[in-house]
Chains A and B, each alone.
Chain A
Amino acid sequence: MADAEEFDFGDNVDTATFEQILDMDDADEDDAHEFSKSIVFGFLDQADSTFAKMETSKYVRPDKSIHVVRTLIHYVLRKDKDLKELSSLGHFLKGSSATLGFTKVKDECEKIQHYGQKKDETGATDEPDEEKCLRLIGQSIAKAKTAYDEVKRLMEQYYAKLEGNA
Chain B
Amino acid sequence: MLLHRIIRSLKSITHPPNVDPPSTSPNTSAEAPETVEAWGSSPPIIIARAQAQAQAPAPTADNPADHNDHAQLEGTSAHFGASPAPHEAALSPSTSRKTSSAHPDPDPHSPSPSPSQASLRESTSPNLSLSHHTPAYEPDEAERPEALTERHINIRTVPGPAPTPILTLVEATLFDDEIEIMQRKIWVKRPGQSATLVAVSDDDLVDTVRDMILRKYANSLGRSIDSPDITLKIASREPGNNHVPADRVLGPDEAIGQTLDSYYPGGQTIDEALMIDVPQRRTPKPSPRIGNHHPAIAYPYYLEDHRPGDGAREYFPPMAVHSPHLAPHPTLGHLPQQNGAHLPHSIGILQTGQVPALPSPGGHSTRKHRDGRPKYVRQHTSSPTIMHSSQPHSNDLKPQLPNGVNPPAPLPTPPAQMDHRPSVTPPNRASSPHTGRSVRKNKTSQRSAKSINGEPPPPKLAPAGLLDGQVPPINVLIVEDNVINLRLLEQFMRRLKVRWKSAMNGREAVNTWRTGGFHLVLMDIQLPVMSGLEATKEIRRLESANGIGLGLVGDQNENRKRTGSHDIDPEDKLHDMNLFKSPVIIVALTASSLQSDRHEALAVGCNDFLTKPVGYPWMSRKVTEWGCMQALIDFDGWRQWKASVEKKDEGLSDEQKKAKEKEEKAKRQAALTAMFSAPPPTTRDRREGENNETGGRSPVNGGPTLPVRGPRRAGGNGTQSVLETHEEEVEE
Contact = CB atoms under 8 A, between A and B. Distances in A.
A95 B439 contact: no
Interface in B608-646: 612-613, 615-616
Interface centre among B444, B488, B613 (most CB of A within 10 A): B613
Nearest to B441: A2
B484 interface: yes
Contacts of B495: 24
A96 B676 CA distance: 12
Interface in B426-454: 432, 436, 439-440, 443-444, 446-447, 450
Given A14-B322, A38-B672, A42-B484, A89 B615 contact: no
A131 to B, nearest CB: 21
B615 A24 contact: no
Contacts of A14: 322-324
Interface of A (DSSP majority class)? helix
B679 A96 contact: no
B696 to A, nearest CB: 16
Nearest to A27: B443
Nearest to B526: A91
B446 A95 contact: no
Nearest to A84: B683
Interface stretch (A43-51, A58-66, A135-143, A152-160): A43-51
A53 interface: yes
Contacts of A85: 682-684
A28 interface: yes
Interface string B437-476: 0011001101100100000010000000000000000000
Contact of B615 (A20, A28, A41): A20
A45 B677 contact: yes
A132 B681 CA distance: 26
B726 interface: no
A87 to B, nearest CB: 9
Given A27-B447, A28-B450, A95 B682 contact: no
A28 to B, nearest CB: 5
B322 A39 contact: no
A52 B672 CA distance: 21
Interface in B665-699: 665, 669, 672, 675-677, 679-684
Given A24-B616, A53-B682, A92-B681, A35 B491 contact: yes
Contacts, number: 104
Contacts of A53: 679-680, 682
Contact of A21 (B488, B665, B676, B684): B488
Contact of A20 (B436, B665, B672, B679): B436
Interface in A49-97: 49-50, 53, 84-85, 88-89, 91-96
A85 B677 CA distance: 21
A100 B484 CA distance: 9
B145 to A, nearest CB: 71
Given A24-B616, A28-B450, A98-B613, A46 B682 contact: no
B440 A28 contact: no
A126 interface: no
Contacts of A162: none
Given A21-B488, A42-B676, A98-B324, 5 more contacts: A46-B484, A95-B484, A95-B612, A99-B485, A99-B613
Closest 8 CB pairs of A and B: A96-B484, A42-B676, A27-B443, A95-B482, A24-B491, A99-B613, A49-B679, A27-B447
Interface of B: 321-324, 432, 436, 439-440, 443-444, 446-447, 450, 457, 481-485, 487-488, 491-492, 495, 526, 591, 612-613, 615-616, 665, 669, 672, 675-677, 679-684, 705
